[in-house]
Amino acid sequence: MVVHDKEKHEALLEEEKRYLQAKQMREEAEEAERKALERLRKIKNQDDLIEQMKFKDREKRREEQEKMYERRAALLAEMEYRKKIEAEKVRAQREIETLKNTKGMTAFAQFNQ
């Protein structure tokens, strides 16, 4: 009877040992899975941050390019305006010369009469 109880006791201890080992393995697997999920979350957060930085960089480049186009358009408009002013000066100078020549011719014609 003592032998039987001893065997039973050892069997119970062995069963409890297997149970505790299985429980420990489950807990370790759960911990490993939790750590893996945490790493994935961190990677996703890093990817999100990188994507946000790329978006800001694209926006900044787009804004800089837009400003460059605006400056270029302003310079072209100024150049066109200066050309028009210069053309108007030339036209006015010709008109003045024409008037001078016409007055001179009129005075010369009156003198010869």
**Within-domain flag for 61:** yes
**Within-domain flag for 113:** no
**Within-domain flag for 14:** yes
Residue whose token pair is 């420990």: 24
Give CA–CA dist 4/10, Å, rounded. Answer: 10
**Within-domain flag for 2:** yes
Q: What pLDDT sits at residue 86?
A: 97
Q: What pLDDT sits at residue 3?
A: 56
Domain count within the chain: 1
- The rounded radius of gyration (Å) of the Cα atoms in the chain is 48
Domain that holds residue 33: 1-108
Give CA–CA dist 102/98, Å, rounded. Answer: 6
Q: What pLDDT sits at residue 107?
A: 53
pLDDT values of the chain reduced to their tens digit, one per residue, 113 residues: 455 788 888 999 999 999 999 999 999 999 999 999 999 999 999 999 999 999 999 999 999 999 999 999 999 999 999 999 999 999 999 988 888 887 665 655 555 55
Please work out, in degrees rounded to the nearest 5, the angle formed at the alpha carbon of residue 37 by the alpha carbons of 36 and 43. Answer: 90
Q: What pLDDT sits at residue 5?
A: 84
Q: What pLDDT sits at residue 68?
A: 97
Give CA–CA dist 30/24, Å, rounded. Answer: 10
